[in-house]
């Protein structure tokens, strides 16, 4: 991973769970969150690692519950809220579970205790948040991908960040082993 991290730098991770999961899946790997935590602990003084997600309590989305429980017991602060289900004017079932406000408030509240914010999201709505904490003297790195089709990071967010970290470049260090090995086998065939 490129980037100039100082071992005395106070760092926090802010992970937009849905956005980060979608970016990793678009690149063909699953994230090993233990390896992710270890990687950033090596780069600086990791103050906190936040993971944001909306929870849908129905049959097709119960798979996220073990991940949330694991994160909660293994060094992450999990911020979750129930997703809201509604029917749009066309009669289609829609789910709303945006965590942008929660993430933004936590970044702003933690700013005085940090030197470097690592934002795992490509959501362009965070550009103003990045700009606001930069004015407070913090460095901001955005982790997402431009290697997927379409790119998962908004251009305005990528340009506002002090550093853009390509998620695909982190894959060898943070991917769950079985997915990386399977991908290598497929490429070799």
Q: Render pLDDT for 76-128 as a digit per residue (tens, 0 to 9).
A: 999 998 887 778 888 887 767 789 999 999 999 999 999 999 999 999 999 99
pLDDT at 25: 94
Please name each of the domains of the chain with its CATH number: 10-188 (3.40.50.1010)
pLDDT tens for each residue of 23-74: 999 999 999 999 999 999 999 999 999 999 988 766 445 667 888 999 999 9
Residue that has been written with the tokens 């600086």 in this structure:
44
Report whether pLDDT(11) > 70.
Answer: yes
CB 123 within 8 A of CB 16: yes
| Average pLDDT over every residue of 1-8 | 71
Report whether pLDDT(185) > 80.
Answer: no
pLDDT at 92: 82
Distance CA 6, CA 67 (A): 30
pLDDT at 7: 80
Report whether pLDDT(178) > 80.
Answer: no
Distance CA 166, CA 22 (A): 14
């Amino acid at each position: 991973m490129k980037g100039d991290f100082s071992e005395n730098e106070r760092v926090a991770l802010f992970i937009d769970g849905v956005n980060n999961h979608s970016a990793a899946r678009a690149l063909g790997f699953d994230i090993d969150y233990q390896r992710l935590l270890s990687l950033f602990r090596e780069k600086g003084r990791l103050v906190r690692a936040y993971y944001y997600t909306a929870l849908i309590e129905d049959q097709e989305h119960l798979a996220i519950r073990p991940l949330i429980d694991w994160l909660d017991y293994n060094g992450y602060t999990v911020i979750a809220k129930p997703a809201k289900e509604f029917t749009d004017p066309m009669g289609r079932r829609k789910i709303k579970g945006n965590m942008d406000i929660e993430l933004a408030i936590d970044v702003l509240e933690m700013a005085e205790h940090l030197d470097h914010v690592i934002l795992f999201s490509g959501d362009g709505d965070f550009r103003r948040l990045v700009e606001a904490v930069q004015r407070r003297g913090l460095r901001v790195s955005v982790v997402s991908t431009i290697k997927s089709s379409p790119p998962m990071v908004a251009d305005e967010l990528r340009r506002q960040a002090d550093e853009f970290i390509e998620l695909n470049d982190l894959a060898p260090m943070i991917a769950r082993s079985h997915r990386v090995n399977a991908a290598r086998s497929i490429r070799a065939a």
